[in-house]
């Protein structure tokens, strides 16, 4: 398991979600990605797509809270993939 991504309440940080392990040989991400968080206390913005990652900014949150971020993207192979990452807000 990957350790949670950590940030403070005041920070707006770049979170990179790696789809690489789920992609077939020669397959890349395409289209417009989307992302959701399990609680509106954490904000998501500035989402971009590379060949194998979804990059977004996370801000806000409540100290001591861990949030689940889920990103969705389509691939050139016709697949619809999802990657999750926990974001922990520290004091």
Q: What is the pLDDT of residues 9-64, one digit of tens each?
A: 999 999 999 999 999 999 999 999 999 999 999 999 999 999 999 999 999 999 99
pLDDT band at 2 (very low <50, low <70, confident <90, very high): confident
The dihedral built from the CA positions of residue 17, 22, 26 and 31, taken in this order, carries a sign that is negative
The number of distinct structural domains making up the chain is 1
CA proximity to 91, closest of 8, 6, 17: 8
Q: What confidence score (pLDDT) does residue 52 get?
A: 98
- Please report, for the domain that includes residue 71, its CATH number: 2.60.40.10
Cα–Cα distance measured from residue 3 to residue 35, given in angstroms and rounded to the nearest whole number: 19
- Please answer whether residues 38 and 67 qualify as being in contact, where contact means their C-beta atoms are separated by less than 8 angstroms: yes
Across the strands, what pairs with 80?
74
Range of the domain at 44: 5-90
């Amino acid at each position: 398991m990957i350790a949670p991504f950590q940030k403070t309440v005041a920070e707006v940080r770049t979170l990179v979600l790696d789809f690489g392990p789920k992609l077939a040989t020669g397959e890349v991400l395409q289209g417009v990605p989307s992302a959701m968080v399990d609680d509106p206390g954490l904000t998501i913005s500035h989402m971009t797509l590379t060949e194998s990652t979804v990059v977004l900014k996370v801000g806000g949150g409540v100290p001591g809270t861990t949030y689940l971020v889920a990103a969705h993207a389509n691939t050139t192979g016709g697949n619809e993939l999802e990657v999750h990452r926990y974001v922990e807000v520290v004091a």
